[in-house]
Every structure is written in C-alpha cells, then in structure tokens.
Structure 1
C-alpha cells in the first residue's frame, strides 16, 4: 500500500514489543501526507539485522489532536508500515 500527498492516514496504535521509531504521541492519531521522502532503511528492521527499505512520508498532524489544544500543526516523518488509511 502506498500513499500520495493529500491522503488522510492514521498512525498505527499500539505498543509493539520490538524497536520502533513511531512516536507515542502520534499513535492512533489522524494526519495528512504532505510529502513523499523516498525509500530508506527501516530502523526497526536494521536493529533486527535486516536491511529492509520502506517509503518514508512526512505526515502533518493537528496539534489539538495530539495535545488537546493548539492551532498549529506538527509534521513527523513516518515509514509506511507505521500508517493506515484514515
């Protein structure tokens, strides 16, 4: 599954047992893809001794969704496996 700029996505919820670079404060939150950043080695796989690559996306979240207030946005770079369609 791949996403395009403008797609509504949700950061996956949950707390995996293995290493992840998915920030806890965005887990389960809706956002919008604002840029495709290309293919990069997924740190989660690198830690496990594999060098799998994935597409990375810049995803914009409303601060009010993340923190309960604020009229600004927060943009986080996230790998494809961290996302699902919203």
Structure 2
C-alpha cells in the first residue's frame, strides 16, 4: 500500500457518492468538509468485503471530524467523528 494521502490536520471532503451497493460513508457526511484527526493505518475496503470480492482493496483509514452544525444545524458546537477509507475522500481547501 502507498503512503496515506492525507495527514492529521488536513481538510478533506467526503465524496457525495450514492452507490448501488454497500458503503461505509454515512449519508449525513456525504459532500461535507471535515478534518483528519487520526490516520489509523491500512485496512481492507469494507465496500469490497461486503460485495464478496476475494481480494478487497487495502486503503488508509482516517478518523475525520465534522462540525455537527454543518451536518444538522445544531446550535451548540460539537463534533461528529467518522472512520472513512481513503477512496471516500478528496482534499478540501
């Protein structure tokens, strides 16, 4: 596996995907911008495993935090953290 594309502190956007198969990208996070708070190492892509692929892709997994207000319009400031595979993310400025 290649070096992780993102590092702690990077701003990323969860891709606004709606695939016709299993995905671990929560609907509420799709298209949203967050910040990488941890790089967890490399793991088999859950989407590929759920679809029964014999050799699932192995990708970096990140803990990404999103401001709850951006997700749900919550008045008080708190964060929602989601574990996301690298192919679910793109850089955000």
| Alpha-carbon shift at residue 46 of structure 1 (Å) | 1.3
2:82 maps to 76
Q: Which moved more, 1:23-32 or 1:1-10?
A: 1-10
**Structure 1 runs (4+) greater than 6 angstroms displaced:** none
CA distance in structure 2 between the aligned counterparts of 1:26 and 1:63, rounded to whole angstroms? 10
- Which TM-score applies when normalising by structure 1? 0.93
CA distance in structure 2 between the aligned counterparts of 1:11 and 1:66, rounded to whole angstroms? 12
The structure with the largest alpha-carbon Rg is 2
Q: Does 1:36 align with 2:42?
A: no
Q: Does 1:56 align with 2:61?
A: yes
- Give 5+ residue unaligned stretches, structure 1: none
CA distance in structure 1 between the aligned counterparts of 2:14 and 2:57, rounded to whole angstroms? 20
CA distance in structure 1 between the aligned counterparts of 2:88 and 2:17, rounded to whole angstroms? 10
CA distance in structure 2 between the aligned counterparts of 1:14 and 1:77, rounded to whole angstroms? 16
3-state SS, counterpart of residue 64 of structure 2: strand
RMSD, matched Cα: 1.2
Deviations 1:12-56 (A, max 9, x none): 003111221110010000000000000001111112313221100
